[in-house]
Structure 1
């Protein structure tokens, strides 16, 4: 037990060190002035371009000179027609070095911050000496630790409740026999969620939550997906805290609590969202069931201190092994699908990212759990009534580390999938074969091969782009002729999300043929 306590402390230290990981989801693509640029005259404004659309209530920018003095600025604004770009007018600056510190919130609700440095006239030597408040990193650390432990409790609790319910139906000890009355945990869980919610809003830019509440902008409470997740969990925790309800009531509450974890991560940057949500939900419930079974077995092995009857391990073995086999299989299958939907295995190999390293660590831990489970099962089958408590404890602890790796992965950038677009679009008077080599944020090229019904070539081809979710429309991009009935146009993919495009072919007699479709530009690294 002493070794286990020391091992658990090591996990907690690892959690604390991992909490300093930047919550970088909405990435800075470009800025004016550019980072480390030396300007001859003072700029009139600072412009920052991001990979995702921003919310005006959740953006902030501070400007410091080379002596760490704050330069007063008005509130940042979003560029009309482009919600992924923010700007702020600045006063005339003296010659010297300046640092602009920005804070935004990514589309999935995670706070993101960074800075750019530029100089006017000359570069002032030395560091700017800017000293940031320690409370920002403190709240981020508190938020990370709370999120890890709360998600762990939700997954373990859900799995344990399901396993004990199934075990009771087969004559094995019930949950109340090995743990007591679990509805009281709902009260403690509610308190932990309230603390997590407060820590989350404390990490938002420039007291955005307090300012929004003063201005009557109550939509901010429900707007970020992470906040939405916590609100739903708070309601479910209250329902879980109700005493003397039927067993199915608590079973449903725990299941829904585990399912809510699917909406608090990267899922909103994956297409299609419904499939990403479904796969994540099954993945979370499968991990919960596996770890819940291990927890049930650990608690049952405590003997007379916690339960009044002894489990017949020979009879319990086939029941537990079947559940563990199904759960571990579903964890593996849904994990493969999640990676395919989110980033793709090819991009993981080509991009050495922290997210990818954590994924491979998670896979290694999963394989190690399988090895320990196989060894335990063979020993169990051989002896009938004997099971190694040490092996079981290690398997359970490794499962907890899998949860930790998952929490870390949900809060950092992931490599974008290496995808391209190639599709034959049909119209009444012809067809167009359209290719876009890279589907990610930035300037891309569209190649168009036209095949009209009468074989004529258009005198003009243009491509119209818009982002309907944000009511953003761009000026038509002219397509240049590069071959026989072949054209190429530059595309301004300025942010992640679903884009609509229309190809318009204009002929000499004044007729037009149009082809339209949608493409999804993923967010991330």
Structure 2
């Protein structure tokens, strides 16, 4: 049932890129209304989670207007609706804070006026004060990143350790240190996921660390997509308890291994269900690839850690006996990690320029670099396995005997050659190819210890990466800016700032903060890089000092140059330009 719930959650994945972006509002930014609006609607680029504190309406005096909690709109998961009581004349600020489908908080503010504009620009000052603070509390950011990294580490050890115990080192569960490792990872994953549930409430609400103990924030988290995913993970980990209780018993039931594997796969699906993979085009494929990525990474790292535990607890021979099997499992895991990682990077990067031109791209490059170092170390470990434990026993025994005979005679064995040579194909004797057991063991364990250390850093980078908007997300979504046009201020919004149909909203404000009275406005867009001459955009009045476009359709993606011209009086024209990225 839990897996079915996860699949159902995946089916509702949003067809947009994280994070959610505000596309439009009703009333629009800067609107001057003749009477109080009954509703305020905010439309976002993807489905969102709404809580009781998602919208606040603040009067120019600084007082918060009492309202009922906002709600979603049935059939339109990207719209948030706030019912509004009758407002007095004046300017009001609407502040909003929502959680996007990939669990990240997004916020903003806009102003509108009823009857008249309040003097002194009070509304804009309140909005600027709201937006000047951080989206999240710094201490919560740090704590959440640490907890997320520890969750991934515990998940890797639990999934990889149990997989390796089932398919590679089948006697490993008979050893106390192995069982302690698995119990510690199970307990850590359960407790840290509970902590993550509490931190998500503070993270989404912009509260400090004490907010994780606030029941009202728990309720907000429970109603969000990430809250559902974390709850599913907790239940899956608890469902694994019967399997954990049987790991000490050699006579485990026949259902133990299949049930354990199914539950571990379900746990591996949860990061994708609540992260970047769950939103965007082809989200089903992305979530499948994410689950494979988590499983492969866990099999790689968890198996390495299990190998280290066996080798350092007096069971080295047992660990080495199954090295050929483990070597093949690790090779397959590395291949799957590489393929799914490339697929995820291609999906979430907007282009080659974003590899080093965006925070997400730089973090991803760092992660790739660390994985390449781990692969180099894995190659050294693989070499030791090939040159000792994958050889024919008779050939191995003959090489050892020859080496012992030379040493007994006081002679030095010939120097070992390159790590990819095969004796019977190159003419190199077995003695020059086969590694002495002590040398092979030392080389293998050193490589494995270093490999595990690098992979721990990879998990740390991943914990930061999942909290960073993908480059395509950073590029997509509405574009908004405030331009200086002579002495006037122009609030401009282009939505959705992508190829195809777009809307341009323009609000002109006088120096004192009220609406600016002008004779005419003109907007044009050009794309010099593609030799596209200026395209005139027809603008119509939509209220006092507010204008909207008619039928603006950028034909190609690119960094368009927008030119705004304002006829202030019969002889005075002011202008301003801005670059508007369209993807």
Distance 1:38 1:159, change over 3 A: same
Structure of larger gyration radius:
2
User: Are residues 1:445 and 2:500 paired?
Assistant: yes
Distance 1:133 1:376, change over 3 A: closer
Question: By how many angstroms is 1:231 displaced?
Answer: 1.8
TM-score of the pair, normalised by structure 1? 0.61
Secondary structure of 2:96 counterpart:
strand
User: Are residues 1:282 and 2:283 paired?
Assistant: no
- Determine the C-alpha separation between the residues in 2 that align with 1:187 and 1:386: 33
- The CA deviation string for residues 315-351 of structure 1, in whole angstroms up to 9 with x for no partner, is 44433322221111111111122233444645735x8
Gaps of 5+ in 2: 1-16, 388-434, 476-494, 502-549, 555-582
Secondary structure of 2:441 counterpart:
coil
- Determine the C-alpha separation between the residues in 1 that align with 2:197 and 2:293: 25
Secondary structure of 2:357 counterpart:
coil
Aligned residue number for residue 467 of structure 1: none
Question: Aligned-pair RMSD on alpha carbons?
Answer: 4.6
Do 2:158 and 2:185's aligned partners in 1 also have CA atoms closer than 8 Å? no
Aligned residue number for residue 334 of structure 1: 340
Question: By how many angstroms is 1:374 displaced?
Answer: 2.1
Aligned residue number for residue 225 of structure 2: 225
Question: By how many angstroms is 1:288 displaced?
Answer: 0.7
Aligned residue number for residue 190 of structure 1: 190
- The CA deviation string for residues 391-423 of structure 1, in whole angstroms up to 9 with x for no partner, is 43332122122223333332332133999xxxx
Aligned residue number for residue 72 of structure 1: 65
User: Are residues 1:369 and 2:374 paired?
Assistant: yes
- Determine the C-alpha separation between the residues in 1 that align with 2:33 and 2:341: 53
User: Are residues 1:397 and 2:453 paired?
Assistant: yes
Aligned residue number for residue 538 of structure 2: none
Do 2:384 and 2:441's aligned partners in 1 also have CA atoms closer than 8 Å? no
- The CA deviation string for residues 371-407 of structure 1, in whole angstroms up to 9 with x for no partner, is 2222344456443332365543332122122223333
Secondary structure of 1:385 counterpart:
helix
Distance 1:94 1:154, change over 3 A: same
Secondary structure of 2:98 counterpart:
strand
Question: By how many angstroms is 1:92 displaced?
Answer: 4.1
Aligned residue number for residue 440 of structure 2: 384
Aligned residue number for residue 577 of structure 2: none
- Determine the C-alpha separation between the residues in 2 that align with 1:279 and 1:117: 43
Instruction: Name the stretch that deviates more: 152-161 or 138-147.
Output: 138-147
Instruction: Spell out the pairing of 1:364-513 with structure 2 (5 A cutoff).
Output: 364-378=369-383, 381=387, 382=435, 383-387=439-443, 389-416=445-472, 441-442=496-497, 444-445=499-500
Do 1:58 and 1:205's aligned partners in 2 also have CA atoms closer than 8 Å? no
Aligned residue number for residue 239 of structure 1: 239
Gaps of 5+ in 1: 1-22, 420-439, 447-487, 493-524
- Determine the C-alpha separation between the residues in 2 that align with 1:298 and 1:445: 56
The counterpart of 1:266, out of the listed 257, 276, 279, is 276
Distance 1:317 1:79, change over 3 A: closer
Question: By how many angstroms is 1:294 displaced?
Answer: 1.7
- Determine the C-alpha separation between the residues in 1 that align with 2:277 and 2:57: 34
Instruction: Spell out the pairing of 1:514-525 with structure 2 (5 A cutoff).
Output: none
- Determine the C-alpha separation between the residues in 2 that align with 1:343 and 1:313: 41
- The CA deviation string for residues 122-151 of structure 1, in whole angstroms up to 9 with x for no partner, is 346989766979995544544433222112
Distance 1:371 1:491, change over 3 A: same
Distance 1:147 1:42, change over 3 A: farther
User: Are residues 1:180 and 2:179 paired?
Assistant: yes
Distance 1:101 1:394, change over 3 A: farther
- Determine the C-alpha separation between the residues in 1 that align with 2:497 and 2:327: 50
Aligned residue number for residue 122 of structure 1: 120
- Determine the C-alpha separation between the residues in 1 that align with 2:383 and 2:290: 31
Do 2:173 and 2:179's aligned partners in 1 also have CA atoms closer than 8 Å? no
Aligned residue number for residue 44 of structure 2: 50
Aligned residue number for residue 296 of structure 1: 306
Question: By how many angstroms is 1:50 displaced?
Answer: 2.4
Aligned residue number for residue 13 of structure 2: none
User: Are residues 1:356 and 2:361 paired?
Assistant: yes
Secondary structure of 2:332 counterpart:
helix
Question: By how many angstroms is 1:34 displaced?
Answer: 7.7
Do 1:183 and 1:240's aligned partners in 2 also have CA atoms closer than 8 Å? no
- Determine the C-alpha separation between the residues in 2 that align with 1:269 and 1:314: 43
Secondary structure of 1:25 counterpart:
coil
Distance 1:66 1:390, change over 3 A: farther
Secondary structure of 1:101 counterpart:
strand
Instruction: Spell out the pairing of 1:77-88 with structure 2 (5 A cutoff).
Output: 84-86=78-80, 88=82
Secondary structure of 2:373 counterpart:
helix
Do 1:24 and 1:411's aligned partners in 2 also have CA atoms closer than 8 Å? no
TM-score of the pair, normalised by structure 2? 0.56
Do 2:272 and 2:278's aligned partners in 1 also have CA atoms closer than 8 Å? no
Distance 1:342 1:188, change over 3 A: closer
Distance 1:93 1:407, change over 3 A: farther
Instruction: Spell out the pairing of 1:92-111 with structure 2 (5 A cutoff).
Output: 92=88, 100-111=94-105
- Determine the C-alpha separation between the residues in 1 that align with 2:18 and 2:24: 15
- Determine the C-alpha separation between the residues in 1 that align with 2:89 and 2:363: 44
